[in-house]
Structure 1
Amino acid sequence: MKYDYLVVGSGLYGAVFAHEAKKKGKSCLVIDKRPHIGGNIYCESIEGINVHKYGAHIFHTSNKKVWDYINQFAEFNNYINSPVAIYKNELYNLPFNMNTFSKMWNIKTPQEAKEMIAKQVAETGITEPKNLEEQGLSLVGKDVFEKLVKGYTEKQWGRACKDLPAFIIKRLPVRFTFDNNYFNDRYQGIPIGGYTKIIEKMLDGIEVKTD
């Protein structure tokens, strides 16, 4: 059997390509080393819940053309990603925003937050950070770094921030608005029914070989 295209990987990229090629009359063989289609967005149903096997995936874009395209294959819920961090039994909004700063310092305005961060950064006296801890302190000051960056980073890397290179953190997103939305994109959500159904629809009528 001969095909116009061999597509390696049945994730979103490969599935979209195969789907569009088929619409133009081309034949595709899609192969995947995993035992299922979907790549990293594969969802498996566990007791009626769509579990993202390889970590949570939230679809977000500001491109209306992209949003309209993906909505051909699924209806999306109105999920807004607004994570919170727990530090010593207190909850703080992420990314760091005015809700975070208001709770942390009992302030109300962006100007107060900017002044507090600038004051704490100046107090560090760090001009050339030698490690990740000094880098974090020089970017956001003591309170934000110790409550919201240090523990998470050390857990992620399995070592102290002082033992990590400064370049790991280039910047820390700080927002001076009362908006808890993690993404700035206009369109956002998770497909009702899971991502696997989207891939199944895209690959309908296309030969696929897993494993």
Structure 2
Amino acid sequence: MSVKEYDYLIVGAGLFGSVFAHEMTKLNKKCLVIDKRNHLGGNVYCEEKEGINIHKYGAHIFHTNDQRIWDYVNQFATFNNYINSPMSLSKGKLYNLPFNMNTFYQLWGTRTPEEAKAVIDEQVAKYGTKSPQNLEEQALSLVGKDIYETFIKEYTEKQWGKKATDLPAFIIKRLPVRYTFNNNYFNDRYQGIPIGGYNVIINGLLDGVDTKTGVDFFESRSELEALANNVVYTGKIDEFFEYKYGKLEYRSLRFENELHEIENYQGNAVVNYNDTEYPFTRIIEHKHFEFGKQSKTIITKEYPEAWDQGKEAYYPINNDRNQEIYKRYKEESLKLNHIIFGGRLAEYRYYDMHQIIASSLAQVKEILGLSSNRG
């Protein structure tokens, strides 16, 4: 049996693949990371224009409660103290998010938690139901009519391309309501943006690792697999198995960037546009992630779209049909000893960044455990 050039071929240069490559390289394993895009970093890739780091594939705000993960990313970048405090435009008025005492004052003029809670409880009692059958009924049962119609209904219908009454209730498991004047969207202890953008982290992770961009795994599959003893695959799991059990479904996004010859377009990094009169769901103003003082600004309008093969797959549609298909692919994947499936697309689930990193580290630990047990 011939000795192969690499211990691991890693398909996909996003966070999962980059963390895996970094950890295995530290253990003197030889890795090759490939990506079909013309850059490394997957969806956290930042594109620099006018001195501004643009989050090319949507806003990425790092947040975690896990000190181990926070310490891990801080090896590669210094994080600023950005706090995500989005605004929401609805029916011509701006509101604070997440739903908190500022939001309730803007909606109803309530000044105390007791007053706000009384309004919500009254509306839940009036419009809610014991056994919600769809997303609309679920939301009404959690927060009542005003919050649902002002912030949830039209935004969600744009996001999923369906009426709220046609969406399953499980999409909204809970809606956090805060009876404090706190506009910090996340509850996590650690939060921020890497100074210089996420490329700083990816470059740190992949320092000393062989990488190739613009390489489509499926166009040269047999040649690429022949290079390594093992494959780490982070792409779509149904594509890996040539769609033998059917295609999994996703929602996609389209981003439109605009350069404005002004210093400040909207005064905030994230503003949601709830009303259906706007075809986009939010506008991101990237410079605010890093407190930029540039004379110009770049904004991105985010348009949810139906997904097809030519588009990026962003959000898995985790309904019963898709979960059943995924389950069959998952069973197939477990039969392959030398292929590791990891990440958002390979596991058909939505991950935050800290979860992806934790998942990749856990995979490395599992491999080390298996090899030491065999040894």
- TM-score scaled by length of structure 1: 0.92
Whether 2:79 is the aligned partner of 1:37: answer: no
Instruction: Name the CA distance, whole Å, in 1 between partners of 2:182 and 2:78.
Output: 25
2:211 partner amino acid: V
Output the CA distance in 2 between the equivalents of 1:168 and 1:11.
26
Higher strand share: 2
How far 1:125 sits from its partner (Å)? 5.6
Residue aligning to 1:60: 63
Q: SS of 1:156's equivalent? A: helix
Corresponding residue for 2:126? 123
Match of residue 153, structure 1, among 153, 156, 159: 156
**How many residues in Structure 1 have an aligned counterpart in Structure 2?**
211
**CA distance in structure 1 between the partners assigned to 2:166 and 2:15 by the alignment:** 38
Deviation of 1:164 after TM superposition, in Å, equals 3.0
Residue 181 in 1 paired to residue 159 in 2?
no
Whichever residue aligns with residue 44 of structure 1, its letter is E
Gaps of 5+ in 1: none
TM-score using structure 2 length: 0.54
Q: Give 2:165's match in structure 1, choosing from 156, 162, 167.
A: 162
Q: Deviations over 1:139-158 (max 9, x none)?
A: 11111111111121122123
After superposition, give the CA deviation of every residue in 1:66-104 in whole Å (9 maximum; x if it has no partner): 212211211111110011111122111111111111221
* 1:206 corresponds to 2:213: no
- 1:169 Cα deviation after fit: 2.2
Q: Distance in 1 between matches of 2:11 and 2:47?
A: 22
Letter in 2 for 1:181: N
Aligned residue for 1:4, secondary structure, equals strand
Q: Secondary structure at the match of 2:125?
A: helix
Deviates more, 1:200-209 or 1:125-134: 125-134
CA shift for structure 1 position 40: 0.9
Distance in 2 (CA, whole Å) between partners of 1:46 and 1:125 is 48
Match of 2:31 in 1: 28
Could you say which residue in structure 2 is the equivalent of 1:102? Answer: 105
Where 1:145 maps in the other structure, the secondary structure is helix
Question: Which sits farther off after the overlay, 17-26 or 43-52?
Answer: 17-26
Q: Could you tell me the percent identity over the aligned residues? A: 67
TM superposition shift of 1:134: 2.3
**Is residue 197 of structure 1 aligned with residue 200 of structure 2?**
yes
Alpha-carbon distance change, 20 to 163 in structure 1, aligned in 2, over 3 angstroms? closer
Work out the CA distance in 2 between the residues paired with 1:61 and 1:131: 31
Decide which structure has greater helix share. 1
Secondary structure in 2 aligned to 1:91? strand
Counterparts of 2:160 and 2:72, CA distance in 1: 38
Instruction: Please name the residue that 1:48 is paired with.
Output: 51
Q: Does 1:89 align with 2:56?
A: no
Structure 2: how far apart are the matches of 1:66 and 1:3?
28
Distance 1:208-1:125 versus aligned 2 partners, 3 A rule: closer
Comparing 75-84 with 123-132, greater Cα deviation is found at 123-132
For residues 165 and 63 of structure 1, do their structure 2 counterparts lie closer, same or farther at Cα, with a shift above 3 Å needed? closer
Q: Give the distance between the partners of 2:105 and 2:212, measured in 1 at CA.
A: 54
For residues 33-92 of structure 1, the C-alpha deviation after alignment (integer angstroms, 9 at most, x for no partner) is 222110110111112111111101011112222212211211111110011111122111
Counterpart amino acid of residue 102 in structure 1: Y
Q: Which of 80, 83, 94 is residue 83 of structure 2 equivalent to?
A: 80
Q: Secondary structure at the match of 1:135?
A: helix
2: distance between equivalents of 1:167 and 1:136?
10
Distance of aligned partners of 1:107 and 1:193 in 2 relative to their CA distance in 1, 3 Å threshold: same
Q: How many angstroms does 1:175 deviate by?
A: 1.4
In 2: Cα distance, 1:25 partner to 1:100 partner: 53
* Residues 76 and 201, structure 2, Cα contact 8 Å, conserved in 1: yes
